[in-house]
């Protein structure tokens, strides 16, 4: 009999490696740009260090999800953690910009596997209220990982920007724990093809879950991608301060995720999206109007409260919608939608920023999020009336 507490801790530690993993090196971006300033289009290429893994994850996650259902969760997790460890730390020991970018592409393979496995296993191991509670904990630990790792990256960046890449070495801890803590769910390895074919009908509502996840990450990922450059216009902003500013997002996110279970008891999934977009809109408005470092942090904190309830909401909604036999597949698709949002975030935001400036682009997004909150409120009313 496996130790339940160790199982839970290992799952939560694995979750810390996922959604905000790309953003860990965000405080280093301005210094990386200066280091390779002789490279053409270096600022765009530097930003790609955050978004390239997201594209890899989006493309690979459906395959990872199918592999979970065919060969088992734990095998995929082992491979993913090893890739994460080697490719994640590659920025420390690779000398040139383009090989580092290749390393970031490969790194995405590891994140895709870890995120898909960890979310799927929560659905496998837990049911009912325990599942809701643990999904909220997962969201909190995802955010906690971002808080610890991004803040640490800011401190390390002031020493040498390459040191920030060593933070990905934390995955070795999870790799060591897996054989002692996690087990393959029995049903996941059944070979009965009849069971695999029957009872796999999926509601079309999954498309709303995919779209919601995409919108959420397009919006909140503007902070790790654009905030380092937004803060450059303020005086005396070093890597440490930049890390603290970025770390305030997952700090607020962790608090909100921890209380997700209580929110879920009072509201349905669609209503939670409507509610979650409101603090995100307010936070982006505050950032766009900010003139000081502390005002900016206040805006990031407010935004994080919305993000903190939206991420576990999408994961739980998907797990509740799909049957066990295809759970890995659809969680893989959800991972794709999430990280496509991360990849397209700067592509969508950059033209707006070019037209109105970086500060006003936050205000434009605030207005868009406020409109989305109303749209989801209308959707919720129509669902209840049907």
In percent, how much of the chain has pLDDT > 90? 37
SS3 assignment for the chain: CCCHHHHHHHHHHHHCCCCCCHHHHHHHHHHHHHHCCCCCCHHHHHHHHHHHHHHHHHHHHHHHHHHHHHHCHHHHHHHHHHHHHHHHCHHHHCCCHHHHHHHHHHHHHHHHHHHHHHHHHHHHHCCHHHHHHHHHHHHHHHHHHHHHHHHHHHHHHHHCHHHHHHHHHHHHHHHHHHHHHCCCCHHHHCCCHHHHHCCCCCCCCHHHHHHHHHHHHHHHCHHHHHHHHHHCCCCCCCHHHHHHHHHHHHHHHHHHHHCHHHHHHHCCHHHHHHHHHHHHHHHHHHHHHCCCHHHHHHHHHHHHHHHHHHHHHHHHHHHHHCCHHHHHHHHHHHHHHHHHHHHHHHHHHHHHHHHHCHHHHHHHHHHHHHHHHHHHHHHHHHHHHC
- State the pLDDT confidence band at 374, using cuts at 50, 70 and 90: very high
At 235 the pLDDT is: 63
For tokens 């008891």, what's the residue? 265
Tell me the per-residue pLDDT of 211-222, one tens digit each, with 9 for 90 and over: 999 999 999 888
pLDDT attached to residue 386: 64
User: CA 137: distance to chain centroid?
Assistant: 14
Ordered by where they begin, the domains of the chain are: 4-385 (1.20.1250.20)
Span 53-99, pLDDT tens digits: 888 888 888 888 888 878 888 999 999 999 999 999 999 998 888 99
Question: Rounded to a whole number, what is the distance in angstroms from the first to the last CA of the chain?
Answer: 46
How large is the average pLDDT for residues 1-20? 83
Q: Percentage of the chain surpassing pLDDT 70?
A: 94
pLDDT for residue 236: 66
Distances in whole angstroms, Cα of residue 123 to Cα of each of 226, 228, 287: 34, 36, 36
Confidence of residue 194 (pLDDT cuts 50, 70, 90): very low
Write down the pLDDT at residue 80.
94
Query: What confidence score (pLDDT) does residue 39 get?
Result: 84
Query: Is 60 exceeded by the pLDDT of residue 197?
Result: no
Kindly report the pTM of this predicted structure: 0.78
State how far Cα 80 lies from the chain centre: 16
pLDDT of residue 281: 97
Contact status, residue 79 vs residue 113, Cβ threshold 8 Å:
yes
pLDDT for 200:
55
Where is pLDDT greater, at 71 or 297? 297
Q: How confident is the model at residue 208 (pLDDT cuts 50, 70, 90)?
A: very high
> How does the average pLDDT of the chain come out, rounded?
86
Cα separation of 312 and 96, whole Å? 37
| Structure confidence at residue 38 (pLDDT) | 86
């Amino acid at each position: 009999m496996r130790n339940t507490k160790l199982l839970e801790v290992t799952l939560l530690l694995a979750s810390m490696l996922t959604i905000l993993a790309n953003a860990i090196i965000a405080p280093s971006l301005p210094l990386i740009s200066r280091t390779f300033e002789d490279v053409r289009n270096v600022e765009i290429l530097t930003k790609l260090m955050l978004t390239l893994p997201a594209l890899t994850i989006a493309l690979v996650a459906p395959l990872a999800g199918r592999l979970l259902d065919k060969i088992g969760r734990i095998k995929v997790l082992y491979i993913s953690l090893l890739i994460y460890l080697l490719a994640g730390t590659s920025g420390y020991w690779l000398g040139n910009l383009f090989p580092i970018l290749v390393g970031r592409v490969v790194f995405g393979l590891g994140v895709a596997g870890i995120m898909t496995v960890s979310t799927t296993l929560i659905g496998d191991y837990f049911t009912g209220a325990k599942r809701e509670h643990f999904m909220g904990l997962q969201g909190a630990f995802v955010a906690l990982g971002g808080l610890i790792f991004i803040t640490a990256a800011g401190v390390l960046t002031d020493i040498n920007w390459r040191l920030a890449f060593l933070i990905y070495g934390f995955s070795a801890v999870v790799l060591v724990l897996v054989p002692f803590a996690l087990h393959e769910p029995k049903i996941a390895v059944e070979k009965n093809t009849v069971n695999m074919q029957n009872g796999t009908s999926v509601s079309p509502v999954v498309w709303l879950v995919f779209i919601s996840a995409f919108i959420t990450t397009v919006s909140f990922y503007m902070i790790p991608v654009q905030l380092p450059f937004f803060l450059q216009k303020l005086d005396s902003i070093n890597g440490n301060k930049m890390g603290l500013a970025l770390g305030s997002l997952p700090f607020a996110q962790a608090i909100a995720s921890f209380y997700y279970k209580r929110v879920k008891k009072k509201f349905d999934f669609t209503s939670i999206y409507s509610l979650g977009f409101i603090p995100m809109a307010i936070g982006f408005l505050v950032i766009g109007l900010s003139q000081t470092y502390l005002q900016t942090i206040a805006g990031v904190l407010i935004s994080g409260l919305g993000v903190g309830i939206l991420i576990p909401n999408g994961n739980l909604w998907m797990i509740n919608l799909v049957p066990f036999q295809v759970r890995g597949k659809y969680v893989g698709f959800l991972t794709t939608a999430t990280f496509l949002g991360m990849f397209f975030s700067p592509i969508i935001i950059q033209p707006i920023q070019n037209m109105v400036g970086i500060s006003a682009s936050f205000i434009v997004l605030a207005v868009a999020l406020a409109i989305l909150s109303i749209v989801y409120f209308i959707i919720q009313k129509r669902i209840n009336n049907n």
